[in-house]
Structures are given as C-alpha cells and as structure tokens.
Structure 1
Amino acid sequence: MSETQSDEEVPLRDRIAANPRPALQWLAGAIVLLAVEFGAFIGVIIQLALTVVRLLPSNPGAAALASAGEAAESIPTLLTRGLIPNQGYQTASGEWMGTFLGLEPAYAWLLRVVLIYAYAFVWLGWFWVGYRWFRDHYRYADWTPRDDVVDRLRSHRWGQFGFVLVLAFFVLALFAPALGPTTVDANIQSPYTHYTKYYDDEIESVSNVTVGTANLGSTSQGAGGENVGPWSYDDYGRFHPFGTLTDGKDLFTFMAAGARISLMIGLVSLMIAGFIATALAMLTAYYKGLADLAAVITSDSIQSLPVLLVLILASAVFGNTWIANLYNGAVLLIAIFSVTYWPFFWRALRGPALQISEQEWIDAAKSFGQKPRVIMQKHMFPYVVGYLLIYASLTLGGIIIAVAGLSYLGLGITPPTPEWGRAISAGQPYVATASWHISLIPGIMITLIVVGFNALGDGIRDALDPQSEGGEETGGEAAVAGGGGA
C-alpha cells in the first residue's frame, strides 16, 4: 500500500489517538511556554482584532476590545517591562531606584532583551522537536523528499545566516512593546500625558516631569552638546540604546514599533498577492487557452508600469481620502503592493504550474472524474507552494525598502506612527555631525533585513532545487520533491 493511500485511510487525528503520548508531551511543553507570555499573546490577538474592527464603518465592539486589551496587559508575564523594569532614577549616592534589582537601566534593559530572544529560540527549538516527533511517531514513511529539503537547508550556511537575521527581525516586531526601553504611547504618541521621575541635583530631591518636556531636553540635532548618542543616558536618567531622534524621542522604541508596521504591511501584502498569483497560476495551467492569455495580458500591463512611480502616484492621489486614514495609511499601502506585486508572483509560479499540469497523475485524476478544484488543491498546489515561498522571502525585503522609501518622501504611513524611512529622513541633515546615528542605524538595519530575506530565499531555493547549486535534479523534479511527502 502506498504512503498516500495509507495516510488517506488513517487520518492524522486517528494516528495521534492511537499513540497520544508524544503529542500530549509536546502540547504540554507548548502550553508551558505559552503561559510564560500568555498576557502578551492575548494582547497581540486583541490588538489585531481591534485593528480589523476599526476598519469597519461603525467600529462595532471597539470599546469592548480596547477594555479587553487593557485587561490583557495587566496579566503578569515573565518578559514584560513591568517585571524587569529599566526606567528609574539615580540618587545622589549613585544608587539606582525603580529598576530591576537596582541594576543600571542599561543592564536591566539588556537582560530583558536577552531573555526575550532566548525565549524565541526556545520556541524555535520546541517546534523542531515537534517535527522530529511527528516524523518518528506519526508518519508512515521513514523517508520522504521533504526530508532531503530540510537536510539541505540545515547545511546551507548562507540560508541559515539569513534565517537568523529574519528571526531577529520577527522577534523585534512581535515583542516590540517589551523590547523597547520605553513605550510608544509614552514616548512617541502621547508624551505630554505621561510622566517620568528623575533626581534633580539643584533641589536634591526626586522630581516629576512630563515625557514631552524631557524629550525637548534630550534632542539629537548635532549642534554643540545637543546630542544623545547610542548607548547613553539623557539628563533625566533615561537610557537610550540607539540614542534619540531630533525631537528627543527614543530611537530604539521608534525602530521596534516601526518594524511591526513594516512587517504587517509586508506579510499581508504578500498573502493577498500570493493568493491571487497562486489561484491564477493553477487556473491558467489547468485550463490554458483564453484563461492563460487573459492573465498574460493583464500581468504584462501591470508589470510594464514602473512600480516605484506607481507607488508614489497612488500614495499621492489617495493620500487625502478615507482609505489613507485606515490604520495610518497601512491599508492603502497593502492594497497598492497587492495589486502591483501579484503579476511578479504569477509569472514565477506559471512555469512550475504548467509543468505539473502535464504530469501523468494529473491526467489520471481527470480520468477518474475528480473535480478541477480538487485536482488543483490536492495535486497542483503542493508543488507550486515551494516556489511561492522562495519569491515571497525575496520580495518581502523589497516591500520593506519600498515602505521606508515612501516614508522618506513623506508618503505612506502618516506621522506620528513610527516608520524607519521617516527616521532616515529626519536624520539626513545630521549625517556628518554627532547625531549620525539617526540615519545610519535605521539604514544599517534595513540593509541587514533585506540581506537576511534574500539569503533565506537563496537557502529555500537551493533546498527545493538542487540544480541551482549543481545537483542532478531538474527544476521541475525539485518542485515535486519539495511538495511531496506526508
């Protein structure tokens, strides 16, 4: 009996029911890891739901979701700013008050960052354990082509380098509220409604000052002593890992929040564009003829337009409309990227989809009377999705650059919402001064992220297609290998 037939006769849930111990052990470990950050995860889910609700005309349930979000933030978690605080003040004796265990704010913040990234790598390791247990206990075959793909990716050093950079970026975006030395609301959105404590040497006592006032005294404008550089403190005892912006706001907090915006725009755009391209690739490969011709003409028409100019034009034209106000302009950018990028994906998937549609098992499925939807879903999709992953990883970095470029030009995401390109634009006049960090650090981070996504894409391509690094398999055979297996 073939592996495919066996898997269809005995569903995965039945295999787990016959041997539940490994699955329950993995689930128990996952629950423990999730419990550590339960409040943060619930908060992220509620924020996503709140974002979707605010896109609706009447905002139904927005108030209830906002209250639930506040309640979720009050749930104790291991890696939050409240448990490992880094904001405090230094007394005349040099002792730090209000920080975790009385540590200097820089070390308290660094401890929290190390723990958060360690937590992320533990999750990564636990997923790998789950994959190995699935192979050992719930999969019929001792080997599938997918095992070779995983092994090739594990030995691909350039791809692993890219994976580490991409993972670091994802963690920065996902844990942005905890990674920043301060909060976006306090330091960027509403600085004059929040207060910070500091030790006033003149009156020799602790004083309160609004964060907005403290920011005005902590600007980085490259003139004389008006600069708070990387890994330094301002006059109010606040630690700034990347220094401050021209208006005194913390650059690291700005970058972490901006990473979340860029990642959200990139992922949603890729999902929409990838869905359109994949559906069209399978439809045109299956039906060919007029369907393929119509898709070719449409995609060629869109691809003939300069993407950057289209982005600038669309952002300028729709900049004052209602759609530009949805999620501070992010929805408009998602719509533009989705429309302009699906033809590139479709062109990349069209060849593999046509190649698979000519295989003998597709003809066999047709002769057995399977519906076209079933054939495309079960027999064609698994073999084109590998190429989609390759081009998606290569494209995501380009979208991040495009979003930063639009923000640099004053388009796209509306202020004061953090976006990396706006930091580069603000710091450009000070590149040759003591405030070089405002433009240089965001520029270096954008470069690293793009290199990371490109390296990961190269690794996925070489793992799926050994021919790309001198193997004997053809591209079509590699596509089959990449999608096959139970």
Structure 2
Amino acid sequence: MSADRDADASLVERVKENPGPALGWLAGALILFALEAGAVVHFVTGLFGPGVELPTLLTRDLIPNGGYQTASGGWEKTFLGLAPAYAWALRVVLIYAYAFLWLVWLWRGYVVFRENYRHADWTPRDDMVDRLRGHRWGQFGAVVVFAFVVMAMFAPALGPTTVEKNISNPYSHYIEHYNDEGQLENITVGTANLGSRSQGTPERNVGPMQYDKFGRWHPFGTLPSGKDMFTFMAAGARISLFIGLISIGASGLIAAAFALLTAYYKGLVDLAVVIVGDSIMSLPRLLFVMLLSVVLGGTWIAEIYSGALVLALIFAGTGWPFLWRSVRGPAMQVSEQEWIDAAKSFGQRPTVTMRKHMAPYILGYLLVYASMSLGGVIIAVAGLSFLGLGINPPTPEWGRAVDIGQSYVTTSSWHISFIPGVMIVLVVTAFNALGDGIRDAIDPQSGSGEGEGSEAAAATGGGA
C-alpha cells in the first residue's frame, strides 16, 4: 500500500488521490456532530452571556425526568411514564454511549489514515499505541478521564435538572407535585429546595440515590440549601476542565517555545529564560495565585465564564516554568544531534529547524508532564474554591461543595463533602495514571532505568 504513495506528497495531495476513505469517515463524523451541534453552540455562546438554545438529540426535553407522581403511584410528564430515576439513567446511558461512539469513530479515523494516507506501513508511533493499549494503569486513567470529560461536556443534559432552574435562579421556575391533601400543587423550585435540604439530621437529609418529598430524583443527594448535588457536580466538572485545558494548553505552548529557543540559541537567551522562570518558581505559588485572582477580580476578563478564564490565565502564567524545566533537558539533548548541525550548515531558518526537527522530539515529554499537571490544576482550583476564592459564586465548583459540607462529615449528610472529595482524588489520580501510561508508551524503559530510557530520564530530570 504505502509503496505506491509519493513520499513527497502532502497529506492533502494524498487525500485528493484517494478521497473515498476520508470522505466516508468525514461523513460519519459530521452525522455524529450534527446530533449534538446545538450543545456546542450553547456552550460557546454561554461563555459571553445567556447561551443560545438549539435542539439536540440527547436533551432532557427529549427524555424528561422532571414529572410528578400521581395518587395511584404512576408518573406524569416523564419519558414514557417512567420513574424519574429510570428516565434519568436512560439519558445518562445514551449520552455515554454517544460519547463512546465518538471515541470509536476517532480511532477509526486514525486507522483510515494509517492504512490509506500514511507514507510508511509502520512507524514508532504504532508501537507506542500498542504499548498504551496494554498498559492497565494507563487504561484505568483513560477510563476515568473519559468519564470526567464526558460529564463536563454534557453537563447540562446529564443533570437531573439544570443549573439555571435549580441553582442560579430557583425562584423563577416551578414544579408540580401532589401535596399532603392530595391536591396537585404548583410551587417554585426554590420553595421545594427549602423542603429538600440536607443539614445533618435524618429528618433533614436527602442522601444519594433518593427522591425528595416532591418526587425529584437526586443521584448524589442534595446540598444544605436543598439544591441538587449531581447537577452542581456536573457543572463544576465543566468549570474544572475548562480551566485545566486552557491553563495547561497555554503553559505548554509557552514552555515548548522557550525550551526550543533556549536549546537552539543557548547562551544569553537560556540565561534570561532561566532567570525569569526561576523567579516565578521561587514565589509561593498559592499565595501568588490568590493575589492575582484578587487583583484581576474586578477587570472585564474576570466576568468571562464566572472568572474561569482569568483563573486559567493565572495558572498558565505561573505554571509554564515547571513544564519548561521538564522539557528543557530533552530539547538541549536534541539540539546537540548531528542533523541539527546539518540543518544549520545548509542555512535552514531557525524556526523551521525548531518546528520540524526539534519540536517532535520534545512533544512526547510535554504531553506526559502536561497530563500530570492537569490534575494539579484541578485540585488547585478546588482548593481556591474551598477557601472562597477563584470561581465567582453561585457558579458550581467542586471545592466549594467540600467547603459547604465539611461541618456535616460525621452526620447523616456526609455525602456533601465525601462525594466531591472522592471525585477530586479520583480524577487527579486518573490524570497521573494516564500520564504514566503515556510515558511508558513513549519510553518503555523509563520504569527500569536502563539504556536509552535512563538517559532520557536523566536529561529530563536535569532540566527539572
């Protein structure tokens, strides 16, 4: 197959020569995207104000779970008359199935590229993928990270209710239920929340996997305010993922750029970046982040996504030296190779040399340390919210739930702090496990400390 392909042809040219497999995969991807395109539009527009509502397939409107129980024990206004717990569970299963189908289709895209458009039949990347597929600890991390990412991306549809109805503006929305006199009553969500509070006593507690007295299903129970905790956690996952991805992405770009510059030019450029990076690393990071969050809290950028963007930029600005130190060693190592000297002698532009011959070498190391750092950002955001800083209330955030429930840990309402605490630990551990899997896939000898793996680890450690 690959022998017939022009080794000098670009990917676009190869696709033009054989468009069938690419168009088939693209058609499937467009169909999958069209099913949930409205959710993407809602999220993007929601960053700057009220999100634009467009119909999507996996919504609570299509599979509602917010009805009420009749006197005969049946349910009205739920999907097919199912109990809210079953209707909600069905929607959750379909959402995760849809996300898994996307994962399968992306893998299918890689296979299509490998079989039809890649120059070589085999590359070292194939062995990396095979090693990662056999790495059980890395697979555990990948599964948990997948579940977390899906929870964040589909938060509005996954929750038994919505943030707007149950958390942000509960007194502007209504629910129906049969009262003690057997009459169908229409009350505000805020009033219902007052009767569904979890405040540490058996009489005032709605625990995990329970209904409240208004017939509302709460998979994680309720908060002391009576608000649904699963909805709170799902929305908080979206905030945490947004901050983590933006901060790590920006930090990674800065770190990679400085690593390539310092490795290529060395001398004064390296010294200048070392001074700046060490100066930032010498500061007590938590206090520095707290100071910047307060100083920038009154600016216009702090209003974007309830302060999530400014917090992401703060973490990026204070975190890039740690990533840069991690990839500086490998960048220095590759800059001493003969092909770099050959590229210089042929008069190749520095930017081309760094992009084509140096950047691919450090990308794997950057990916490993970025995946491990992402968990640290998530736990740092939770810590700031626990201290009452960071994300502007009432926007949900996991650390705030831990703070709210800390006085109820030994009571009937133990779930308020326990569930978010366990989820924080689980997600952070999963990102570290995934990072371990990627590291071992890239360098199978990294764990044994032998051969080339130990040399790469020493180079990396020397720059850390």
TM interval, shorter chain, is over 0.9
Q: What is residue 245 of structure 2 aligned with on the other side?
A: 267
User: What secondary structure sits across from 2:283 in the alignment?
Assistant: coil
The CA RMSD over aligned residues, in Å, is: 2.0
Quick one: which amino acid aligns to residue 14 of structure 1? E
| Matching residue of 1:193 | 172
2:355 match: 377
Q: Which runs of 5+ in 1 are unaligned?
A: 55-61, 480-486
Question: How much has 1:471 moved relative to structure 2?
Answer: 8.0
2:178 counterpart SS class? strand
Give the number of aligned pairs: 455
Change (3 A) 1:137 1:471: farther
Alpha-carbon deviation of 1:447? 0.6
Q: Once the 2 structures are TM-superposed, how far is the Cα of residue 222 of structure 1 from its aligned partner?
A: 0.7
Report matched runs for 1:296-335 at 5 Å.
296-320=274-298, 323-335=301-313
Q: Is the 8 A contact 2:280 2:321 kept in 1?
A: yes
Residues 36, 324 of structure 1: alpha-carbon distance in 2 compared, 3 angstrom cutoff: closer
Describe the shift of the 1:324–1:42 C-alpha distance in structure 2 as closer, same or farther (beyond 3 A).
closer
| 1:288 aligned partner | 266
Question: Which among 149, 164, 170 is matched to residue 149 of structure 2?
Answer: 170
Deviation at 1:318, TM superposition (A): 4.3
Cα offset, 1:300, TM superposition: 1.2
C-alpha distance in 1 between matches for 2:19 and 2:451 = 38
Aligned 8 A contact 1:465 1:473 in 2: no
User: Structure 1, residues 269-307: CA drift from partner, whole Å, max 9, x if none?
Assistant: 111111111110000000000000111111111112222
1:353 partner amino acid: A
Contact map agreement 1:355 1:476 (CA 8 A) in 2: no
Write the deviation string for residues 199-257 of structure 1: whole angstroms up to 9, x where unpaired: 2231x232111111111111000134011110111111111000000000000000000
Q: Any idea what SS the aligned residue of 1:208 has? A: strand
Within 5 Å, give how 1:74-473 maps onto structure 2.
74-75=54-55, 77-202=56-181, 204-320=182-298, 323-470=301-448
List runs of 5+ in structure 2 lacking aligned partners: 458-464
Q: Which moved more, 1:25-34 or 1:278-287?
A: 25-34
CA contact (8 A) 2:67 2:176 kept: yes
CA distance in 2, matches of 1:391, 1:240: 37
Q: Tell me by how many angstroms 1:40 deviates.
A: 1.9
Secondary structure of the residue that 2:278 maps to in structure 1?
A: helix
Is the contact made by 1:243 and 1:252 (CA closer than 8 Å) also made in structure 2? yes
Q: Helix, strand or coil for the counterpart of 1:25?
A: helix
SS of the equivalent of 1:123 reads helix
Aligned residue number for residue 19 of structure 2 = 20
Q: 1:127 offset after TM fit, Å?
A: 0.9
* 1:13 Cα deviation after fit: 1.4
The answer to whether the 8 Å contact 2:39/2:54 transfers is no
Structure-1 separation of matches of 2:81 and 2:456 = 57
- Secondary structure of the corresponding residue to residue 474 of structure 1: helix
Q: Compute the displacement of 1:322 (Å).
A: 5.1
Measured after TM superposition, the shift of residue 374 of structure 1 is 0.8
Q: Is the 2:372–2:435 contact (alpha carbons within 8 Å) kept by the matching residues of 1?
A: yes
DSSP-derived class of the 2:379 partner: helix
Distance in 2 (alpha carbons) for counterparts of 1:127 and 1:318:
39
Instruction: Output the CA distance in 1 between the equivalents of 2:12 and 2:230.
Output: 45
Q: 1:476 to 1:144 in 2, by over 3 A?
A: farther
**1:134 corresponds to which letter in structure 2?**
F
- One-letter code of the match for 1:144? T
Q: Which residue number corresponds to residue 484 of structure 1? A: none
Provide, for residues 422-480 of structure 1, a one-character-per-residue CA deviation record: whole Å limited to 9, x for no partner.
1100100000000000000000000100010000000011111122133865149979x
For the 8 Å contact 1:464–1:478, the answer to whether it is kept is no
Q: Is the 8 A contact 2:446 2:454 kept in 1?
A: no
- Percentage identity across paired residues of the two chains: 66
Residue of structure 2 in register with 1:10 after alignment:
9
Name the CA distance, whole Å, in 2 between partners of 1:308 and 1:430.
27
In the alignment, which residue of structure 2 is the partner of 1:482?
Answer: none
